[in-house]
């Protein structure tokens, strides 16, 4: 699933490691999600959206 995590994270000057700590996952998990190699659980998607001050539907773009 495509997402805007990396774009939003960088615009807010948040490191992958910092976002990972806030969401209680590893930096590698954040990296895998940003590179579209892993789709997060629903709970993690909500945590990411909350920590990036956005909504899940604005953070993830469904593929058609």
Domain ranges in the chain?
A: 2-52
Task: Give 53: exposed, middle or buried? Use CB within 10 Å, 0-12, 13-18, 19+.
Answer: exposed
pTM listed for this prediction: 0.92
Q: Are 19 and 48 in contact (CB under 8 A)?
A: yes
Tell me how far apart the alpha carbons of residues 64 and 48 are, in angstroms, rounded to a whole number: 23
pLDDT tens readout for residues 11-63 = 999 999 999 999 999 999 999 999 999 999 999 999 999 999 999 999 999 87
The answer to whether residue 64 scores a pLDDT higher than 80 is: no
To the question of domain 2-52 being in CATH 1.10.260.40, the answer is yes
């Amino acid at each position: 699933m495509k997402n805007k995590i990396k774009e939003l994270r960088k615009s807010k000057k948040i490191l992958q490691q910092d976002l990972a700590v806030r969401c209680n996952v590893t930096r590698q998990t954040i990296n895998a999600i940003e590179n579209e190699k892993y789709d997060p659980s629903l709970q993690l998607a909500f945590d990411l959206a909350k920590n990036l001050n956005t909504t899940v539907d604005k953070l993830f773009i469904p593929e058609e």
